[in-house]
A and B are shown apart, each in its own frame.
Chain A
C-alpha cells in the first residue's frame, strides 16, 4: 500500500477542517460510541443473568434505552471535547476543536458544544450547512459554543515517513498518487 505524500496536508495544518474530514470523524464516533454502548448493555445483561438468573432483553424502542443512549452520547462527545478537544473519530482523522480564535478550547466550551450539537440536526441538518458555506467552516453548534474545528495532526512527520518509504523502495514520490503532484508545488511551512 502506498500512501500519498501529504505535502498538501502539511500546509493545511491549523487550517479550518473541511466537511469530508469532519463527516468521516463523526461516522467513526457514531460507530465507536454505539458499539461501546451495545457492549455495555450486553455486559449488563450478562452480569444480571449471572447474579439473579433473570435475562434482560434490551429493546431499542424502550424509553430507558433511548434515554441511556442519549446520555451516553452526550457524555462521549462532551467529555472528549472538554478534556482534549477531540473525540476518537476526530483523533483518527486528525482534526480538533479549538476556540473560534484558534486558542485551546476551555472544557466548558466542549460541554456547551455537546449540549447544542443536536440543534444542528434540526431542520434536516441545516445546522451543518455552515461547514460548507460559512467563511470559517463553522456549523451551528460551533457558532453557539464559540468553537471551530481545525486540522491538527503531524502531517510533517507523515510526509517524512512517506518520502522515507519512497526512498527505500527507490520510486519517485511524484508517481505515487494524484495528490502528490500539485502538493509538492505548494509552499511548505
Chain B
C-alpha cells in the first residue's frame, strides 16, 4: 500500500502539472470573446429560475451591508427632482385637488388669466413687429443677467 502510494503520488503530480499546462496553452490560444459571442446568453438566462435564485438570497443581509448614506451622497437630488413631471403629477394625483382647494380664489384665477393673456398678446404683437422690421438677427429675449440665470437652472 505504502509502495503503491509512493509510485502514484509523483504520477498524479505530474498529471496535474500537465493538465494545468494544457489548460494554460488552450486558454492562450483560445479567443474567449469569440467563444462568448457564440453563446446565446438569452437562452441561457431563460433556463435560469430567477425566483428560485432569489429565494436563496437573503436580501435583508445584503441590504444590511449597503451604506444608504453613502449611496444618497452620490445621488443628485436636484437632478432627480428636475426629471419629475410636476404637471403630470398635479394632473393625475390628488395633489391637484389639494392645490386647487388651498390656493387662491376667483381673484387669483382672474389675475393669472389676465397676466397670461397679456403675455400672449405681447408675444403676438412682437412677432408681427419682428416680421415688419425684417430683422436678420433675433433680438435678445431677456437681459443678460436673467438669461444667465435661466441657463444655470
A interface, CB within 8 angstroms of B: 1-6, 8-9, 12, 14-21, 24, 92-94, 98-103, 132-133, 135-137, 148, 150-151, 153, 155, 157-168, 173, 179, 189
User: Do residues A24 and B146 form an inter-chain contact, with CB atoms below 8 A?
Assistant: no
Task: Report chain A residues within 8 Å CB of B122.
Answer: 17-21
Interface membership of chain B positions 7-23, coded 1 if the CB is closer than 8 angstroms to chain A and 0 otherwise: 00000000000000000
Cα A119 to Cα B146 with chains together (Å): 28
Least CB distance from A161 to B in Å reads 5
Compute the total of residue contacts between A and B using a CB distance below 8 Å. Answer: 152
B69 within 8 A of A: no
User: Do residues A8 and B118 form an inter-chain contact, with CB atoms below 8 A?
Assistant: no
User: Do residues A161 and B91 form an inter-chain contact, with CB atoms below 8 A?
Assistant: no
- Additional A-B contacts beyond A14-B147, A136-B139 (13; CB < 8 A): A1-B113, A3-B110, A6-B115, A8-B123, A9-B116, A16-B141, A18-B118, A102-B147, A151-B119, A161-B99, A161-B104, A161-B112, A165-B100
Which residue on chain B has the smallest CB distance to residue A189? B153
Q: List 15 contacting pairs A-B, 8 Å CB cutoff, sorted by A.
A: A3-B113, A8-B119, A8-B123, A9-B120, A15-B141, A21-B119, A101-B145, A135-B140, A136-B140, A151-B119, A164-B90, A164-B95, A167-B90, A167-B92, A168-B100
User: Do residues A9 and B140 form an inter-chain contact, with CB atoms below 8 A?
Assistant: no
Q: Which of B133-153 contact A (CB under 8 A)?
A: 133, 139-147, 149-150, 153
B58 within 8 A of A: no
Cα A87 to Cα B119 with chains together (Å): 18
- Which of A4, A14, A151 sits near B150, CB closer than 8 Å? A14
Task: Report chain B residues within 8 Å CB of A6.
Answer: 112, 115-116, 119
Task: Report chain B residues within 8 Å CB of A92.
Answer: 111, 114
User: Do residues B116 and A18 form an inter-chain contact, with CB atoms below 8 A?
Assistant: no
Task: Report chain A residues within 8 Å CB of B117.
Answer: 4, 179
